[in-house]
């Protein structure tokens, strides 16, 4: 009897084929190919400057691919701009938080809900503000920010700012989520709660997640597979155990010649 194929092979949500990005002829990301199955969680690791953020920029459309192609749900999105990819359900966070300091937590999430509803909805932005109240409240509850709804973003801790980033992302209901170093700047005490939140987004909401993260203890408990970037290329993509045991990966981290 034939073995059932893995979801990553049968119905990839995302498929990269020889994807690359060069700046003035200098390759930053080179020949990256892999598929992501529905509901999968892949963590990206690699030394500083390995190309992890650049790869996320390519996937989200911030950087134009100079080689290869990219498919989302079977559609070629290689030439699509950021907003078109967002409409298809692709959302991302960034390494550095950026908020309007005086705008409240609920205000940020409501604006994101309105922006996700499209330009016509945004036009009626203030008149229809209450239209998104339920969705905003639900999202704040899920991200454990309900008690901070009226707090200006500038008054949040680093961990709460990371939660707000997730709230802003989740309110637009993305199916494929890219998290770029969600623990960056977060205090050690706040890491476990944030890790649990990311786990619930993946497991309970069933979202497909790609995450750049340096904290090995965080990603090992979350990721189905670990991708290792090195000098702009994909060095390894396998289960966490297999990647940790890979001597090539160990050498890349120790900075030894490959
Ligand atoms: N717009 C750009 N123009 C030229 N070089 C760039 C540009 N963006 C990134 N780079 C270079 O590409 C390389 C990869 O950067 P990238 O930020 O993707 O790495 P990273 O793996 O995310 O690093 P880190 O872990 O430090 O965030 C670096 O050498 C960086 O200086």
- Whole-number pLDDT of residue 173: 92
Q: Report whether residue 51 contacts ligand 1, using a CB cutoff of 6 Å.
A: yes
Q: Report whether residue 20 contacts ligand 1, using a CB cutoff of 6 Å.
A: no
Superfamily of domain 7-99+174-254: P-loop containing nucleotide triphosphate hydrolases (3.40.50.300)
- Whole-number pLDDT of residue 228: 95
What is the pTM assigned to this prediction? Answer: 0.89
∠ CA(38), CA(42), CA(47), 5° rounding?
A: 160
**Over the stretch 36-64, which tens digit does the pLDDT of each residue have?**
999 999 999 999 899 999 999 999 999 99
Residue percentage of the chain with pLDDT more than 70 = 89
**Residue 51 Cα, ligand 1 centroid: separation in angstroms?**
5
pLDDT at 258 over 60: no
CB 224 within 8 A of CB 44: no
Instruction: Give domain limits for the chain.
Output: 7-99+174-254
**Residue 222 Cα, ligand 1 centroid: separation in angstroms?**
25
**Residue 52 Cα, ligand 1 centroid: separation in angstroms?**
8
pLDDT band per the 50, 70, 90 thresholds, residue 115: confident
**Which 3 state secondary structure label does DSSP give 64?**
coil
Q: Report whether residue 234 contacts ligand 1, using a CB cutoff of 6 Å.
A: no
**Residue 173 Cα, ligand 1 centroid: separation in angstroms?**
29
**Alpha-carbon span 239 to 256, nearest angstrom:** 23
- Enter the DSSP assignment of 3: P
pLDDT at 86 over 90: yes
């Amino acid at each position: 009897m034939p073995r059932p194929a893995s979801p990553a092979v049968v119905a990839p949500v995302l498929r990269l084929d020889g994807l690359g990005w060069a700046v003035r002829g200098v390759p930053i990301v080179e020949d990256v190919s892999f598929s992501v199955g529905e509901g999968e969680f892949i963590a990206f690791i690699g030394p500083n400057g390995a190309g992890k953020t650049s790869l996320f920029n390519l996937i989200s459309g911030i950087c134009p691919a100079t080689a290869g192609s990219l498919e989302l749900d079977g559609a070629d999105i290689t030439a699509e701009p950021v907003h078109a990819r967002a409409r298809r359900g692709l959302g991302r966070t960034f390494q550095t938080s950026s908020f309007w300091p005086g705008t409240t937590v609920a205000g940020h999430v409501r604006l994101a809900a309105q922006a996700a509803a499209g330009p016509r909805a945004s036009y009626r932005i203030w008149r229809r503000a209450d239209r998104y109240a339920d969705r905003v409240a639900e999202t704040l509850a899920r991200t454990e920010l309900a008690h901070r709804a009226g707090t200006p973003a500038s008054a949040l801790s680093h961990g709460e700012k990371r939660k707000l980033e997730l709230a802003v992302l989740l309110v637009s209901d993305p199916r494929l989520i890219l998290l770029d170093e969600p623990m960056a700047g977060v205090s050690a005490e706040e890491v476990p709660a944030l890790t649990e939140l990311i786990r619930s987004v993946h497991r309970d909401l069933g979202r497909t997640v790609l995450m750049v993260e340096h904290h090995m203890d965080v990603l090992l408990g979350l990721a189905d597979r670990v991708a290792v970037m090195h000098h702009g290329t994909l060095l390894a993509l396998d289960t966490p155990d297999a990647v940790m045991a890979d001597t090539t990966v160990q050498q890349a981290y120790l900075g030894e010649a490959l």
